[in-house]
A and B are shown apart, each in its own frame.
Chain A
Amino acid sequence: MKKRSINLSALTRSKITWAVIAELLILLVCFIIRPDFFSISIQPSTGVLYGSLIDIVNRSAEISIIAMGMTLAIALGGTDLSVGALVAVSGAMALKLMRWDVLEYVTPGDYTVKPFWMAILFPLITCTIMGLFNGFLIAKGGMQPFIATLILMVSGRGIAQILTNGKQFTTMYSPFRVIGQGNLGPIPMPIVIMTVVCVLMALFVRKTAFGTFVEAVGVNRSASRLSGISSDAVIMIVYSITGFLSGIAGLIYSSRIMSNDSNNAGINYEMDAILAVVIGGTAMTGGKFSLLGTLIGSIIIRTIVTFVYYFGIVAEATMAFKALIIAVVIVLQSEPVREYFARRSEKRASLKQG
Chain B
Amino acid sequence: MEATGRKRQSLLSRIMNPKYIMVYATIGIFLIIYIFGAINYADSGFLTLRTLIISMFTENAYYGISAVGMTMVLITGGIDLSVGAVSSLTGMLIAYGVARMNIHPLVCLAFALVIGVGLGAIMGAAIHYLNVPPFIMTLTGMFLTRGVCSLISRESIEIDNELIDALAGFKIYLKWWNEDGEWAKIKPICYINFNLLLFIIMIIIGTILLQRTRFGRNVYAIGGNEQSAKLMGLPVARTKIIVYAFNGFCSVLAGFAYVLYVKSGWNLALQGGELEVITCAVIGGTLMTGGVGYMIGTLFGVLLKSAIPALITFNGNLLSWWGKIATGALLLLFIFIQRVVVLYSDRKKQE
Contacts and interface: CB of A to CB of B under 8 A. Distances in A.
Q: Do any CB atoms of chain A lie under 8 A from CB atoms of chain B in the complex?
A: yes
Contact of A143 (B79, B147, B339): B339
A222 interface: no
Contacts of A151: 328-329, 331-332, 335
Contacts of A157: 321, 324
B335 A154 contact: no
Given A285-B133, A321-B147, A327-B140, A154 B275 contact: yes
A176 B126 CA distance: 46
Nearest to A321: B147
B143 A319 contact: yes
A314 B154 contact: yes
B136 A320 contact: no
A166 B325 CA distance: 14
B154 A284 contact: no
Contacts of B335: 141, 143, 147-148, 151
B137 interface: yes
A271 interface: yes
Given A274-B139, A316-B147, A162 B131 contact: no
Interface residues of B, number: 46
Nearest to B154: A316
Contacts of A324: 144
Nearest to B137: A330
Given A316-B267, A320-B144, A326-B143, A335 B321 contact: no
B146 interface: yes
B331 A319 contact: no
Nearest to B279: A154
Given A150-B275, A150-B331, A337-B130, A166 B321 contact: yes
A141 B151 contact: no
Interface size of A as a range: 35 or more
A162 B130 contact: no
A153 interface: yes
Contacts of B339: 141-143
Interface in A247-279: 271, 274-275, 278
A148 B338 CA distance: 13
Given A158-B323, A320-B148, A335 B130 contact: yes
Contacts of A220: none
Contact of A275 (B136, B319, B324, B328): B136
Nearest to B342: A142
A334 interface: yes
B48 interface: no
A162 to B, nearest CB: 5
A159 B146 CA distance: 27
Given A158-B325, A166-B319, A326-B143, A317 B150 contact: yes
Most B CB contacts (10 A, CB to CB) among A156, A157, A285, A317 go to A317
Contacts of A166: 319, 321
Interface of B: 79, 81, 126, 129-133, 135-137, 139-144, 146-151, 154, 267, 275, 278-279, 282, 288-289, 319, 321-329, 331-332, 335-336, 339
26 contacts: A141-B336, A142-B339, A143-B339, A146-B288, A147-B282, A147-B335, A148-B335, A151-B331, A155-B326, A314-B154, A316-B149, A317-B151, A318-B147, A319-B150, A320-B143, A320-B144, A321-B147, A323-B140, A323-B141, A323-B147, A326-B143, A327-B144, A330-B130, A330-B140, A334-B131, A336-B129
Given A150-B279, A320-B143, 17 more contacts: A137-B332, A142-B339, A144-B288, A151-B332, A155-B325, A155-B328, A157-B324, A158-B325, A158-B328, A161-B319, A165-B319, A271-B81, A284-B135, A316-B154, A317-B147, A320-B146, A327-B140
